[in-house]
Amino acid sequence: MKQYISFLIRFTVTVLLILYLFKKIDFSHVLNSLTLINPVVFLITSSLYILSSFISALRWRIFLDFQDIKTSKLFSLYLIGAFFNSVLPGIIGGDIVKIFMLREKTGLKRALASVFMERYIGLAALLSIGFILFCLFYTKLPKHMLIWSVPACFLGFIIGNIFLLSFGKIRILKEWRNFVLSFSKKQIIKAFFFSVIIQLIVITSSYIIFVGLNLSISFFELAIFMPIIILISMLPISVSGIGVREWCFVLFFGNSLGAANVVAASFLWFLSQVFASLLGGVEYLRVKNLLNIKKE
């Protein structure tokens, strides 16, 4: 019941955000911009999402290196998780689906650990990219208070980790520290490398959408702010980040490119991911028997 209540709240927030957004901008302009996109550009963006999912499966495999699990199987599970996240959000999370479908093969604890670390390292890479580019291109960025959200999130992540790793006397924190440190430096570095590639692909896919709409934007400016947009969109306050994501696009790029244009870019970027995620629905129908995987 709690899941349904949570979904209802997020759905309500999503609707309110969208309605308020369209009161502030010309919706007909958004629709017109949506029709300008070249279908080839849209397909390229969707293909990049699938590519990032495959590399994510390789990253996931790093934390399951002692298990006899093929990368193709993890890629299948990743697509299925993406399908539940994008197409059927709110009630069943994609990560929960992946853990459930993997637990019979690895055990619940290892399934949880692998999914958590895969996401954890991905977040570290996401924030690192934004912070490094922020430092390199600060002088070229618009002088707005919002730009400081980039280093603030990165430093908050670093301080939070130092705090959690330092206070070992508290039982929960000690278990968390031992859990993270149970993985080798080689595993973490390798996963971080894959994460950087994944995030660059994600940023590139959004850049291609902007270019497809004939919107002039610097790749590096987009790369600085996209990590924060992605991070905020991941917060469980709306359905699949809809509404929240569009507001972030408007806040960061609306003044220079026009609110209606960037809302259209945000919608198209999200729709390209949903379109690619449909492959996960097909995969789910094909491999439903994975729910009954036995240990080999």
Question: Using CA atoms, how far apart are residues 22 and 18, in angstroms rounded to an integer?
Answer: 6
pLDDT in tens, the chain (296 residues): 565 666 677 778 777 777 777 777 777 777 777 777 888 999 999 999 999 999 999 998 888 876 678 888 889 888 888 888 776 554 446 778 788 777 777 777 778 878 888 888 988 998 898 888 888 887 777 667 777 888 888 898 888 888 777 765 666 666 666 776 777 888 889 999 999 999 999 999 999 999 999 898 888 888 888 888 888 887 777 777 788 888 888 888 888 888 888 988 998 998 898 899 889 888 888 876 544 544 44
Q: What is the pTM of this model?
A: 0.81
